[in-house]
Amino acid sequence: MSSFNGLVVIIFTPLMTWLLKSLHELQKVIIGIFLYSFSFLIIRDSPAYPLFFVMMFAFTLGEVINMLGASPYLSRRIPASHRGRINSYRNIGAFIGAVGGRVLMGWLIDAYSYSVAFTVVTCVGAVIVVIVAYNYKLDKKIFPLLYKEDNE
């Protein structure tokens, strides 16, 4: 499975970079989180092995697109003198989220089922998409010069 994941990253990172070049960072993050989160619905009620590859494709593509937006978003808004510190905090937050997410998913699967756990992941992802979309709207107001080509 990791070979398939790596193949998707290698092939689709340049392709997605080119296809999404006209989008701003947060638009890419929204697409990435949507694909990542909603990919779990593909296998929610189906143990079919071929569907797992479809799910992994959507999941990995979501991760790729999210990273194409998240890192540049931070880099354009954080002074060079603070980037290392902020990236450290971001990585610490991601680590805590990953650990907490695994514990929560394990509990949901034990207490309920994979179906419930995958539905929760999708719902959390939908909430995050809404939050990032709202942030995008605010960001355009706060940093209008970063969106100059949209205003022309």
C-alpha count within 13 angstroms, C-beta hemisphere, residue 82: 9
Q: How many angstroms separate the CA atoms of 62 and 38, rounded?
A: 9
Contact residues for 8 (Cβ-Cβ < 8 A; gap 6+): 56, 57, 60, 61, 64
Per-residue pLDDT of 101-116, as tens digits, reads: 999 999 999 999 999 9
Joined tokens for residue 94: 């991601």
pTM: 0.88
Give pLDDT, residue 1: 64
CA dihedral for 63, 66, 71, 74, sign (positive or negative): negative
pLDDT tens for 47-57 read 778 888 999 99
pLDDT at 150: 52
The per-residue pLDDT for range 51-89, each reduced to its tens digit, is 889 999 999 999 999 999 998 998 888 888 998 899 899
What is the Cα–Cα distance from 70 to 80, expressed in whole angstroms?
16
Q: Which of 102, 113, 4, 20 is nearest to 54 (CA)?
A: 4
